[in-house]
Structure 1
Amino acid sequence: MSVESTPEPEITELGAKGPRRGAGGRRRRTRSGRRKALLVTAWTAAGVIVLGGTGAGYVYFKLNGNIRSVDINSALGSDRPTKADNGSQNILVLGSDTRSGANRKLGGGTDDGSARSDTAMVVHVYQGHQRASVVSIPRDALIDRPACTDANGTAHPAASGVMFNSAYTTGGAACAVRTVESMSGIRMDHYLEVDFAGFQKLVDDLGGVKVTTTKDIDDPQSHLDLKAGTHDLTGEQALGLVRTRHGVGDGSDLGRIQLQQAFVKALIDQVKHVGVFTSPKKLYDLADTATKAVTTDSDLGSVNSLVDFADGLKGISSAHMHMVTMPVRYDPADPNRVLPEQSKARQVWTALKNDRAIPASATRGTATGEARGVVTP
């Protein structure tokens, strides 16, 4: 395939050497499964989302050119936790609350170019890559932010008692990774960031996502009005769901996190059943949207790297994904902030560092936000 001969790409199943077919010209479905081009790991304000596809000519270079990457390894240097050698992986996934461009309308506020990590999840993929644990970090958690250098080489001093999402606002992806590694003692192998506009369009390209709400949700601030029952959410509704904090629970970020976790599972299930491989156009549209929506670390900054990464995670279903929130308690000085429960948080991070399941005792009795079960996949 070349640009001259194929101005509009015709896509079958994309492989490193072109379309793959079995004997008799029939598509080999088992290979198609191995080359899954779509992986949902979590969006943040929604969860984990990566979609890539391999190919040649126009398609490859078009998708490859969509991907933005950050050289986090160079920015952080060698003063980092030791990389695990047991086959497990840790990925920091952020939802970018950028107040500029297409996100201005979705995020509200002014077009000032400012940004926050609206949602943060640490995804731990266990050895064997058949199951994962996801730890959501409340953006309102008050933490000690370490000194860090951003990807542009600008140094930022340490700060105490600041909101977690200030790390991203201060120094972008590199400072966010530095802060998570300082909190957890675990090295982040990869970084993925998804923005508002890309998330909304991806859900629409998928044809919506089905969820069930057990209570009415009405939040004018996130433009969401859902009656109790089953809904096929549009992209706009999905974005409202993963951003609402006033329509459910106690109005805290913790309640929103519970909705996000439920939605991520629904999104994963939707991807498995949407049948994108029966429609070349749908596959291309999804790949185009998702590669425009993500920012990655430089190790994942190409279509081939994303596909290899996704191929290693294809065995993890929503049923094998354990989701928790970093143990916290409400700040007695400010009901809109939370404080890490240090001893319980250490149980979480120690379990992941040793590639073990998170014990139930680590999250028992901690602040929850009171929104559990409001949304089910």
Structure 2
Amino acid sequence: MSAESTPGPGISGPGTKATSHRRSHGTHGTGRRALRVTAWTAAGILVLGGAGVGYLYFKLNGNLKTVDINQMLGSDRPAKADNGSENILVLGSDTRSGANRKLGGGADDGSARSDTAMIVHVYKGHRKAAVVSVPRDTLIDRPACTDAHGTRHSAATGVMFNSAYSTGGAACAVRTVEAMTGIRMDHYLEVDFSGFQKLIDELGGVQVTTTKAIDDPESHLDLKAGTHTLDGRQALGLVRTRHGVGDGSDLGRIQLQQAFVKALTDQVEQVGVFTSPKKLYNLADTATKAVTTDSDLGSVNSLIDFADGLKSISSKNMHMVTMPVEYDPSNPNRVVVAEAKAKRVWKALKNDEPIPASATKGTATGQAKGVVTS
């Protein structure tokens, strides 16, 4: 949802707390969400971390939207890890109205969608991280959950992962991820895709190298092979593109998104935000308008403390994978969890261990790896 839009399910207005709750092969809405992932985890967090913006706290606090995940989910959740690690669900969301309607297309119906999700595991010591992308069209069993209006939604079998968010909002998405993984999500971050475009423009663009030409009219992207400095609209097109690379699936798009996150992480400290107070303020203002957090991170103070613990993580210390999946034999436009391999991923994260390469080897990929490099 955009900064200007009405708060959606489970999201409170600026500066307040939410009291209630809040969709790989499919439409191009997926990329929008990943953008937010990119925008906040890589840009907002790193820039706010250690940046000394105390005099702006009150104004920036007023930009933030929060959702009280703990209150909505109660005590029926996996136990918190006691090994010094943290797990964050980073979600992309949008409404089909306002600025998002212009950027994303589709009906101006005011509905909210989430097509990209990343589970970020920060290892003990906060110098390394693992990022697991969850394809939106993965068929899963969704647990029962309650939406922002107090309506109880029954559990469902064989539905797409992204239906959790569209059904019950942020809290339902968190409950679904926790049910899938057995891992407690310590924090929730959601980034708006129109805000992502503004963030990239505030950063002065992001440099990527494409090893193949990308031409996708649906995402308004036309790049020749070579090095490019992408502005916000081009970056949005890159992380949304599906038909321009690989096998045209959302799995391929996820690989582009992961490459872009790494490029953004590498470059955010090189664009002058730490030496220009005006640039820092503009970026922080844009980021806090674009992001929705869990209530524990619902202040600039909390975000800076959180970010300060992550700023040592560079792209070379960020292991990015896609949740092990296989194409659904009855529907090539859907994927199903490769259960045995996925369990190895979740076990590694629970134990604060590296994800073994064998856990993702031989699973569906989308064939877009290496198309974009930083």
Structure 2 counterpart SS, 1:186: coil
Q: CA deviation at 1:46?
A: 5.5
Give deviations 1:327-356, integer Å, cap 9, x for gaps.
000111111110110010000001001100
- Structure 1 unaligned segments of length 5 or more: list them: 1-41
Q: CA deviation at 1:43?
A: 6.6
1:258 to 233, 255, 270: 255
Alignment of 1:172-251 (within 5 A): 172-251=169-248
CA distance in 2, matches of 1:339, 1:77: 29
State the partner residue of 2:133. 136
1:324 to 321, 326, 347: 321
CA distance in 1, matches of 2:112, 2:176: 16
Give deviations 1:295-353, integer Å, cap 9, x for gaps.
00000000000000000111100000000000000111111110110010000001001
State the partner residue of 1:273. 270
Structure 2 counterpart SS, 1:80: coil
1:81 to 78, 82, 97: 78
State the partner residue of 2:297. 300
CA distance in 1, matches of 2:35, 2:299: 24
The size of the alignment, in residue pairs, is 335
2:64 to 63, 67, 81: 67
Q: CA deviation at 1:47?
A: 2.9
Structure 2 counterpart SS, 1:346: helix
**Which amino acid counterpart does residue 44 of structure 1 have in structure 2?**
A
State the partner residue of 2:158. 161
Q: Is residue 2:97 matched to residue 1:100?
A: yes
**Which amino acid counterpart does residue 299 of structure 2 have in structure 1?**
S
Conservation of the 8 A alpha-carbon contact between 2:33 and 2:114: no
- Give identity over the alignment, percent: 78
CA distance in 2, matches of 1:56, 1:45: 27
**Which amino acid counterpart does residue 319 of structure 1 have in structure 2?**
K
CA distance in 2, matches of 1:152, 1:197: 26
Conservation of the 8 A alpha-carbon contact between 2:36 and 2:190: no
Q: CA deviation at 1:55?
A: 4.4
Q: Does 351-360 or 102-111 show the bigger shift?
A: 102-111
Q: Where does structure 1 differ by over 2 angstroms across 4 or more consecutive aligned residues?
A: 45-48, 50-57, 150-154
Alignment of 1:345-364 (within 5 A): 345-364=342-361
CA distance in 2, matches of 1:104, 1:56: 35
CA distance in 2, matches of 1:153, 1:46: 27
Structure 1 counterpart SS, 2:320: strand
Conservation of the 8 A alpha-carbon contact between 1:97 and 1:118: no
Q: CA deviation at 1:183?
A: 0.2
**Which amino acid counterpart does residue 235 of structure 2 have in structure 1?**
A
CA distance in 1, matches of 2:265, 2:148: 31
Q: CA deviation at 1:117?
A: 1.3
**Which amino acid counterpart does residue 330 of structure 1 have in structure 2?**
Y
Q: CA deviation at 1:56?
A: 4.9
Q: Does 92-101 or 69-78 show the bigger shift?
A: 92-101
CA distance in 2, matches of 1:354, 1:210: 35
Q: CA deviation at 1:153?
A: 2.7
Q: CA deviation at 1:118?
A: 1.9
Structure 2 counterpart SS, 1:263: helix
Greater Rg by CA: 1
Conservation of the 8 A alpha-carbon contact between 2:136 and 2:162: yes
Q: CA deviation at 1:54?
A: 5.4
Q: CA deviation at 1:157?
A: 1.0
Q: CA deviation at 1:100?
A: 1.8
Q: CA deviation at 1:142?
A: 0.6
**Which amino acid counterpart does residue 65 of structure 2 have in structure 1?**
R
CA distance in 2, matches of 1:299, 1:46: 19
CA distance in 1, matches of 2:369, 2:53: 42
Q: Is residue 2:37 matched to residue 1:47?
A: yes
Q: CA deviation at 1:97?
A: 3.3
CA distance in 2, matches of 1:257, 1:245: 9
Conservation of the 8 A alpha-carbon contact between 2:196 and 2:236: yes
**Which amino acid counterpart does residue 47 of structure 1 have in structure 2?**
V
CA distance in 2, matches of 1:103, 1:354: 39
- Structure 2 unaligned segments of length 5 or more: list them: 1-31
**Which amino acid counterpart does residue 34 of structure 2 have in structure 1?**
T
Give deviations 1:235-255, integer Å, cap 9, x for gaps.
000001001111100011100
CA distance in 2, matches of 1:324, 1:186: 17
Q: Which has the higher contact order (CA 8 A, sep 6+)?
A: 2
Q: Structure 1 residues 216 and 56 mapped into 2: Cα distance closer, same or farther (>3 Å)?
A: closer
CA distance in 1, matches of 2:113, 2:37: 15
**Which amino acid counterpart does residue 190 of structure 1 have in structure 2?**
H
Q: CA deviation at 1:93?
A: 0.3
**Which amino acid counterpart does residue 104 of structure 2 have in structure 1?**
G
Q: CA deviation at 1:280?
A: 1.0
CA distance in 1, matches of 2:169, 2:138: 18
**Which amino acid counterpart does residue 37 of structure 2 have in structure 1?**
G
Q: Does 226-235 or 147-156 show the bigger shift?
A: 147-156
Q: TM-score by structure 2 length?
A: 0.87
CA distance in 2, matches of 1:349, 1:253: 22
Q: Structure 1 residues 306 and 300 mapped into 2: Cα distance closer, same or farther (>3 Å)?
A: same
Q: CA deviation at 1:99?
A: 1.3
CA distance in 2, matches of 1:262, 1:268: 10
Structure 1 counterpart SS, 2:112: coil
